[in-house]
Amino acid sequence: MPKRKAAIAAGGVAALGAAAILLPNANASQDGASDDAAAPRTLKAADASDLASQLAGLLGDAFAGSYYDADNQQLVVNVIPGDNNNVIVQAKKAGATVREVDNSLAELDAGARTLKAEATIPGTSWAVDPRTNKILVTADSTVTGAKWDQLESTVESLGSGMATIKKSQGTFKTFLSGGDAIFAGGARCSAGFNVTAGDGTPAFLTAGHCGVAAAEWSDTEGGAPIATVDAATATFPGEGDFALVKYDDPATEAPSEVNVGGGQTVQISQAAEAEVGLQVFRMGSTTGLSDGQVLGLDATVNYPEGTVTGLIQTDVCAEPGDSGGSLFTQDGLAIGLTSGGSGDCTVGGETFFQPVTTALEAVGATLGAGDAAGGDAGAGEEAGAGEEAAPGEEAGAGEEAGAGEEAGAGEEAGAGEEAAPGEEAGAADESGLTDTH
């Protein structure tokens, strides 16, 4: 088989309405900061996440979570001031907007432990929502009767003002079915982000429930395998939902970019932590490009297959086949891998993602593909950097880097005519997938 430049980074299907939001690259920065040390700083999302981490260490027990105010491009920090007003002064001097709240992180964590012990019911989830300073508990349509009573009484036992319950119309499930589509037998998933494995070989990340479903994956339905799951890394259920899949050809050039359809790519520069309130984009081979916000962190989801912890909760829609696909920001930060959720892209619903930073650490990989991300495959004028990679009118992908025969990776790699979405890569009913994300 001839050497190909694999662009399995997420995509290969027609971009939806979210593409219009992506077109102008984000350029908010700290240049709006005032000389007044107490004035909130204007921050990029990544800078806000870094500041939140710094303040968590600085404020100690007084730190009660944070979120990103996307409208004002500011970090909002919750504090428990107690008798020490200095913590508020410190947070303001650092450039954050400060809000005094009642529930400490320790109290919220204790509430989550109680839910785990007394209400681990399939079809439920919970995550801390710093915007309300409460635990957001969600129950899907299968949680009824005695199960609902058990969940409700557990939430009530936490005390007033500690948690809220939301009822979802859909059913929590993983979305195993398709970024670029990858296939294994009757299953279809989506590739997430290209990485370099610890041994230096090219690979990509996808959902763990895809990794445990099949060992070998192809870039065409019924085609020869091009990549093999590193079985030791496939995690699902448990502490995450991720897997490392190594390209069988060690010479595979795998650019660090997300294919958002229509010949457009977004260059991925680094992995970053999610922040509640952050605007994010999801790419998957079934539904294409969708956008929304991060709603909660460190979410616990009780799927029918088992409990998964440490996820990101969002209001971004997804459907079967989108499993493993990329969650990223407008300015090219890798945030997550699609795990599962409820609903669809017609009625909406909740969707959960595996944090990329945690997955990279667990599998011992680094984002991108080393030298493969440079040259004509990922960083040149034709490969997705500069004005065209934001993505601009041409979406940062010339014929060689976005949907061309070699770099797209053409008909076989899911970014050409057949996968955008074509007969093989776009139709969920032909994928033979179960309802997994």
Of the residues 323, 326, 339, 342, which is catalytic? 323
Strand partners, 311: 299
With CA atoms as reference, report the closest residue to 130 among 48, 204, 190, 198.
48
Q: What sections of 130-192 are H helices per DSSP? A: 145-157
Structure token digits, residue 420:
């955008």
Long-range contacts of 157-162 (CB under 8 A, 24+ apart): 157/114, 157/118, 158/111, 158/114, 158/115, 161/102, 161/103, 161/134, 162/103, 162/107, 162/108, 162/111, 162/134, 162/135
Catalytic residue among 241, 291, 322, 331: 241
429 flagged as catalytic: no
Cα-based distances in Å from 186 to 53, 305, 310: 43, 19, 29
Within 13 Å and on the Cβ side, how many CA atoms surround 322?
Answer: 31
- Identity of the residue numbered 166: K
Please state, in angstroms and rounded to a whole number, the distance separating the CA atoms of residues 270 and 321.
25
437 has catalytic annotation: no
Distance CA 335, CA 316 (A): 13
Residue 417 three-state SS? helix
Mention every residue, 6+ apart, whose C-beta is less than 8 A from residue 199.
none
The distance in angstroms from the start CA to the end CA of the chain is: 30
At 204, which helix (H) or strand (E)?
A: strand 202-206
CA angle 236, 319, 256 (to 5 degrees): 70
Under a CB-based contact definition with an 8 Å cutoff, are residues 59 and 81 in contact?
no
Helices (H) and strands (E) in the chain, counts: 10, 24
- Return d(Cα 332, Cα 93) in angstroms, integer: 29
Contacts of 101-105 with CB under 8 Å at 24 or more apart are 101/64, 101/133, 102/133, 102/161, 103/64, 103/133, 103/134, 103/161, 103/162, 104/61, 104/64, 104/80, 105/61, 105/63, 105/64, 105/65
201-to-116, 246, 360 alpha-carbon distances in Å: 39, 7, 14
Q: Which residues are catalytic, by number?
A: 209, 241, 323
